[in-house]
Structure 1
Amino acid sequence: MANSTTSQSPDSHHEKDSNDSNNSNDVKFLTDEEINKFLDDLDHNNDGLIDYSEVEDKLDKVHAEIIGPKALAHHNLHAHDKDSEGDRDNAARHKFLRSIMRSEKNRIPRQEFFSTVKSWEIPSMQQDQANTDAQDEYMRRLGWPRRIRSYLAVHGPELGFLALVVAMQLAFGIWQLVKYLTGEYYTAGFGWGVVLAKTCAGALYPTFFFLVLSMSRYFATFMRRWYYVSRFINWDVSQSFHIRMSCIALALATLHAIGHLGGSFVWGSRKENEPAVGILLGEDKIPRPYIEYVRSLPGFTGITALGLFWLLAGTSMPPVRRWSYEVFQMGHLLMFPILGLLMAHGTAGLFQWPMFGYWLAFPTLLVLVERTVRVFCGFHGIKATLQILDGETVSIKAKIPSERIWKYRAGQYVFLQVPAISRWQWHPFTVSTCIGNEMQLHIKTDGGWTSSLRKLGKEGGGKTDITIGINGPFGAPAQRFNDFSHSIIVGAGIGVTPFSGILADLQERDDMEHNGPTLDVTFSREDKVMDTMTRGRDQRLETINYAKDYRRVDFHWMVRDKNSLVWLSDLLNRVSHSQHWHKEHDDAANERHLDIRIHTHVTQKRKEIVTHVYRWLLEKHRTPEHPASPLTGLLNKTQFGRPDFVRILDTHYEEMKKFKAATMKGEDDQDEEFKIGVFFCGTPMIGEILADRCRLLSARGREDGSKIEYHFMMEVF
């Protein structure tokens, strides 16, 4: 009975406040203690008065701490240039200070300023801790059956695939171990070495198969056509899987060599073991000295392949990659002679029928064809336009030649080569938008090669024509994204960029179909401040007639630091701008088609109350001239602290019930299942909460007759 109570309690978490996730009643504002602590930091001389200079000085310090030395264009409060632009920004800065002080006086009594601070409605620092505690409490109160189901929803398929790989390694390794350990003449002729070498060889068969197969991006792209196959074989972590398998293969290959060089070759060359050797290899093979084993086809191919394997591993180390990417890439070309030597290694068939070549043939052919295509793509240049967007981002636009057989889509990725930088370097980047045959990439310039790309743009005056090589496209996450008219996307870090590209592409197509602003048009400085966080309240659901193709996407993006938001601000702002335009014009026609709601969350905690308060003030400060946040550069509001996804999903469920009631009037429509896709990439705990919540809300939909279903999709962006 107790267990039953435990399993039910999380379902009622925040139930009473589920009508509006943005309702001010849900937010705990600064406590009196926090406000007094903030005022103590401002009132340096303890005279009971808050000076304008004290507020300004603290703003300067906090601004320097948060923004850092590399302030971008949207950080418009702290320009001290002597030109007219600098004067305007200084005026904006002082206007900001006066707006938060709400007085033209230079000295304000502490109690009066206390009331002013309280009116700012800054969330308490305890709010984030409360959300963190709520998440921990939610997981603690889950019954074990639900916790296991949630864990398996996040990790299950990947663990299943890893179990398959390990099982195959063990199966073939044990098979070889038993065969050579129990064989009548194997240990008599070649001793312990043949058992060790052949056991490792058995495990190497599936290891090398999956190792080489993980290098084929075309194969992964093709297999993404089947969602459940992609869930079982997580192609998105193929790089980390490839590295782990390489380490295992190198260890097994080294042990295999030790078994032969230190064991079987020594035993096989001894005179007393010649009878057993003759039975296994043939009478014409004895006597056989140690050097003959080394000179044999299996001997020299194995030793050479192992040496090249260690050389490849050395050139793959992170310090080498940072030192010279060309050395890193050229080192990886050693895999082709290694694979050729390994195929030849077992062809002598000394102990058993040669099978290693058959394990390697299929994946090697895939990789060989893929790399050959990449070489040809490198010499088939495409004209493109390189443009510097801001201090951290550049974009590349190109028209894909009509002879390319693959269809390019937003959210996929391509390998990009710029011969003006290096003909031999290829780097993967996400396709931001692709309409027709015109493709656009957004690139964060925080590395050596990307910095060279920015330098190339500067040499062309900020916008220049270049020649590029494109290899791809390759598989994108969320293959089932288009299966749902309503979706929730939850992601963390810069790895969520494929979905930002999908959103931008959706928005541009909507603009083209419904005469909206194009994404190439920069938003006007006179536009109103756009708040995609607070749109879509309940009353709008009741008063607006939605188009038949209405689609809603809730995009939740969590980053630890606000700088992770900056480089995609241009892309997201263009989506926000179009959404604002459609809100004004589509509502006038009483019809909506695409509704994208962008929610960004900065989870980094600030220990100092002054930093916490000023961070919120900077985020909330918007003007007609600067509608974007001075802090993040985004038009949408950014929340600080961990989001409460229990409340977010509960609120979404209530809104979907009202949406369904407003748009599906007939009995047949009401009886139809209403499916919502929840796509997630992030920390396991949040994934487990989302998986459990999706299951509970789907059960609630069956119980109350709304038939709303939430389908949890684990992704790696």
Structure 2
Amino acid sequence: MGNWIVNHWFSAVVLFAWLGLNIFLFTYYFLIYEKGKSFAYTRFILGSALAWARGSAACLNFNCLLILLPVCRNLLSFLRGTFSCCRRSVRKQLDHNIAFHKLLGYTIALMTAIHTIAHLFNVERFYNAAISKNTTLEGMLSSIDDDWVNPVRSEKQTQLYICFTTIAGVTGVVITLALILMITSSTEFIRRCYFEVFWYTHHLFVIFFAGLLIHGVGRIVRGQTPDSMEHNDYESCHDKFTTWKVKHGGSSDDDDDDDDDDECLMPSFQGNEPMTWKWILAPIILYVFERLLRFYRSQQKVVVIKTVSHPSKVLEIQMKKRGFKMEVGQYIFINCPLISTLEWHPFTLTSAPEEDFFSVHIRSAGDWTDRLIQVFKDQDQKTPCLKVDGPFGTASEDVFKYDVSILVGAGIGITPFASILKSIWYKFQREDERLKTKKIYLYWICRETGAFAWFADLLHSLEQEMTSSGKDGFLNYRLFLTSWDSSIAGHAIINFDVETDAVTGLKQKTCYGRPIWENEFSQVSDAHPRSTVGVFLCGPQALGKSLQQCCHQFSSMDPRKVQFYFNKENF
């Protein structure tokens, strides 16, 4: 438990604060509508379903206020730079933006279900009250015309009629359908296999928020007016409904004096002021500015200066753009109008901030990437036009803020670390003494030997630079090949005594199989007993769970001993 606290104590505080605010809002508004005197007559018709609908609506407003913020990438990049002087526990929260966005989405779905079910009960009870006779309190309340409490005015206004003709009903249906489509298309399977479906469907959020802004304009949920409560208190008047009198306009003070104190006037009601827009307008405006900024930057000219086709269907694209500034480990979004004018896909930058260009390595991993690689192959004479948005910050920006860093990449997941290693190479060349990091461990896990090709040159350059600068021990890298045939194994055995590796040509020999992470973390822990170790992963969730478990296992609560901090790329 103590080791878990080292990595997640601040996340737990944030989560409990969010959960506490949800519980408070739900309880506060639930009690207003369940116990409040102004809603006594409304509650008599609807029962507790009214309170359930309004309590869940308050939570919906709160979570809809938050859900756009984690996807405001420029805002997150700004905050990451602003918090650069803060403790790493605070900065790490920005790396959980997608997870928090998903949590908010699921919470909105849950509260929408509660809100919708409660209002379906309300519509049914409104209808039953409307067809009741005036000899019942429900029927008497439903007969009020001007300052009504029951939106159902006749038997012809059936439940379906209310749901599909009122502002609240129509927008509620639209909002719910949009939410269902967004949630279902966000599943892991859809996002990985049919990204375009996810991308297009997720933009239904525009319809969702538009419907949300006007959902409460109809003011269907109504409470008793303060003036009416003075002449008709529920506790003393609800059982005298057969003797209620209608208050005539223009009555004088003398007329009021003649009224019997025991007589009750017909109650009047007013709709609640719409509140949702007050919750969500500010984040909507912020998100609009975010998109405008991203649109402006995406329209700036991008010059493709070089493309290189690497083995394993990897395409390297080197580009230039006016005013482009980056940090290590950041990522950009790329759009190719020849393929689609609307689709934007994220790619980690593989260039270093010290270089006068920026680059990405794109592996064939789906329809869009396949077509992009093919477009560059076919366009020998004229380079295809690309649009670029970014760069945006990631967890890897903090790699130099730790005493020791462990970098773990799986397949093309090595790309953010290419930027880091290149930056280290430049720092060594100019003998930058401000580098806090004293040791870097790099693990690259691949299925095939061809994947090592494009990265081997960079590692070879680093080997030479560190040897010449007397820092041989700064970088410890290990390459793991998880899939091989008998010819590769035989070749490795034959060349076992050769100084360089048979697969990569590097001094470090390639390992066959997968790392035993407990052993790796134990060795690092023993070698750096009083250090803060940053563990950075760009790879699958299963690998992330293993690394995170090791971080918990080998971290100490004592700040004077080794502590492992887990960081994962999310975009």
Pairing of 1:563-642 with structure 2 (within 5 A): 563=448, 567=451, 569-571=453-455, 573-587=456-470, 592=471, 595-601=474-480, 615=489, 618=492, 621=495, 629-630=502-503, 636-639=508-511, 640=513, 641-642=515-516
Deviations 1:441-488 (A, max 9, x none): 122222221112221233246x9733211111112214443334x422
Deviations 1:361-410 (A, max 9, x none): 232223222233334444444121332122231111111212x5xx3122
SS in 2 for 1:362: helix
SS in 1 for 2:343: coil
Matched, 1:554 2:429: no
Structure-2 change in CA distance of 1:475 and 1:577 (3 Å): same
Deviations 1:401-432 (A, max 9, x none): 12x5xx31220111111222222111111111
Matched, 1:489 2:410: no
Per mean C-alpha deviation after superposition, the further-off stretch among 442-451 and 639-648 is 639-648
Return the offset for 1:303: 2.4
1:648 pairs with one of 523, 533, 538: 523
Structure-2 change in CA distance of 1:233 and 1:293 (3 Å): farther
Return the offset for 1:232: 7.4
Return the offset for 1:258: 2.7
Return the offset for 1:150: 0.6
Return the offset for 1:614: 7.0
Deviations 1:265-324 (A, max 9, x none): 232342342655799993487763444675333333222222333344455456665676
Matched, 1:401 2:322: yes
Q: Which residue of 2 aligns with 1:714?
A: 566
Could you tell me how far apart the structure 2 residues matched to 1:362 and 1:177 are? 25
Q: Which residue of 2 aligns with 1:501?
A: 418
Could you tell me how far apart the structure 1 residues matched to 2:59 and 2:436 are? 53
Q: Which residue of 2 aligns with 1:455?
A: 374
Q: Which residue of 2 aligns with 1:177?
A: 30
Pairing of 1:468-483 with structure 2 (within 5 A): 468-483=386-401
Amino acid corresponding to residue 501 of structure 1 in structure 2: A
Tell me the TM-score normalised to structure 2 length.
0.73
SS in 2 for 1:465: coil
Amino acid corresponding to residue 162 of structure 1 in structure 2: L
Could you tell me how far apart the structure 1 residues matched to 2:450 and 2:467 are? 27
Structure-2 change in CA distance of 1:224 and 1:494 (3 Å): farther
1:188 pairs with one of 23, 41, 44: 44
Given that residues 22 and 62 in structure 2 are in contact (C-alpha distance below 8 angstroms), is that contact kept between their aligned partners in structure 1? yes
Matched, 1:263 2:180: no
SS in 2 for 1:176: helix
Could you tell me how far apart the structure 1 residues matched to 2:292 and 2:211 are? 20
Could you tell me how far apart the structure 1 residues matched to 2:494 and 2:74 are? 46
Could you tell me how far apart the structure 2 residues matched to 1:686 and 1:297 are? 51
Structure-2 change in CA distance of 1:634 and 1:229 (3 Å): same
Matched, 1:695 2:548: no
User: Sequence identity of aligned pairs in percent?
Assistant: 16
SS in 2 for 1:411: coil
Structure-2 change in CA distance of 1:650 and 1:365 (3 Å): same
Structure 2, gaps ≥5 residues long: 131-136, 223-271, 538-542
SS in 1 for 2:438: strand
SS in 1 for 2:47: helix
Given that residues 418 and 468 in structure 1 are in contact (C-alpha distance below 8 angstroms), is that contact kept between their aligned partners in structure 2? yes
Could you tell me how far apart the structure 2 residues matched to 1:685 and 1:325 are? 27
Matched, 1:332 2:202: yes
Q: Which residue of 1 aligns with 2:212?
A: 342
Amino acid corresponding to residue 422 of structure 1 in structure 2: S
Could you tell me how far apart the structure 1 residues matched to 2:60 and 2:443 are? 41
Could you tell me how far apart the structure 1 residues matched to 2:76 and 2:345 are? 18
Amino acid corresponding to residue 457 of structure 1 in structure 2: F
SS in 2 for 1:678: strand
Q: Which residue of 1 aligns with 2:291?
A: 371
Q: Which residue of 2 aligns with 1:154?
A: 7
Return the offset for 1:212: 2.2
Return the offset for 1:344: 1.7
Matched, 1:387 2:329: no
Deviations 1:104-137 (A, max 9, x none): xxxxxxxxxxxxxxxxxxxxxxxxxxxxxxxxxx
Q: Which residue of 2 aligns with 1:201?
A: 57
Structure-2 change in CA distance of 1:683 and 1:416 (3 Å): closer
Structure-2 change in CA distance of 1:473 and 1:439 (3 Å): same
Could you tell me how far apart the structure 1 residues matched to 2:412 and 2:278 are? 37
Given that residues 43 and 50 in structure 2 are in contact (C-alpha distance below 8 angstroms), is that contact kept between their aligned partners in structure 1? yes
Structure-2 change in CA distance of 1:713 and 1:191 (3 Å): same
Structure-2 change in CA distance of 1:464 and 1:386 (3 Å): farther
Return the offset for 1:620: 8.0
Given that residues 404 and 533 in structure 2 are in contact (C-alpha distance below 8 angstroms), is that contact kept between their aligned partners in structure 1? yes
SS in 2 for 1:443: strand
SS in 1 for 2:384: strand
Structure-2 change in CA distance of 1:478 and 1:311 (3 Å): closer
Deviations 1:629-654 (A, max 9, x none): 43x78663233441413542255238
Matched, 1:236 2:121: no
Amino acid corresponding to residue 370 of structure 2 in structure 1: S
Amino acid corresponding to residue 4 of structure 2 in structure 1: Y
SS in 2 for 1:242: helix
Given that residues 388 and 457 in structure 1 are in contact (C-alpha distance below 8 angstroms), is that contact kept between their aligned partners in structure 2? no
SS in 1 for 2:516: coil
Structure-2 change in CA distance of 1:181 and 1:284 (3 Å): closer
Amino acid corresponding to residue 19 of structure 2 in structure 1: V
Could you tell me how far apart the structure 2 residues matched to 1:358 and 1:153 are? 38
Amino acid corresponding to residue 450 of structure 1 in structure 2: T
Return the offset for 1:234: 3.4
Return the offset for 1:247: 3.2
Deviations 1:224-260 (A, max 9, x none): 2325486577333433443343233223223322322
Structure 1, gaps ≥5 residues long: 1-147, 515-545, 655-673, 700-708
Q: Which residue of 2 aligns with 1:217?
A: 73
Could you tell me how far apart the structure 2 residues matched to 1:366 and 1:648 are? 47
Given that residues 350 and 415 in structure 2 are in contact (C-alpha distance below 8 angstroms), is that contact kept between their aligned partners in structure 1? yes
Amino acid corresponding to residue 254 of structure 1 in structure 2: A
Q: Which residue of 1 aligns with 2:278?
A: 358
Matched, 1:288 2:153: yes
Residues matched between the structures, number: 491
Amino acid corresponding to residue 388 of structure 1 in structure 2: S
Given that residues 410 and 505 in structure 1 are in contact (C-alpha distance below 8 angstroms), is that contact kept between their aligned partners in structure 2? no
Structure-2 change in CA distance of 1:280 and 1:230 (3 Å): farther
Q: Which residue of 2 aligns with 1:254?
A: 113
SS in 2 for 1:185: helix
Could you tell me how far apart the structure 1 residues matched to 2:50 and 2:359 are? 56
Q: Which residue of 1 aligns with 2:234?
A: none
Tell me the TM-score normalised to structure 1 length.
0.59
Structure-2 change in CA distance of 1:495 and 1:343 (3 Å): farther
Structure-2 change in CA distance of 1:503 and 1:586 (3 Å): same
SS in 2 for 1:473: strand
Q: Which residue of 2 aligns with 1:668?
A: none
Given that residues 221 and 474 in structure 1 are in contact (C-alpha distance below 8 angstroms), is that contact kept between their aligned partners in structure 2? yes
SS in 2 for 1:472: strand
Amino acid corresponding to residue 577 of structure 1 in structure 2: H
Given that residues 319 and 358 in structure 2 are in contact (C-alpha distance below 8 angstroms), is that contact kept between their aligned partners in structure 1? yes
Structure with more contact order per residue of length (Cα contacts < 8 Å, sep ≥ 6): 1
Q: Which residue of 2 aligns with 1:93?
A: none
Deviations 1:541-573 (A, max 9, x none): xxxxx97869633224264x534x8546523x2
Could you tell me how far apart the structure 1 residues matched to 2:45 and 2:364 are? 61
1:167 pairs with one of 2, 11, 20: 20
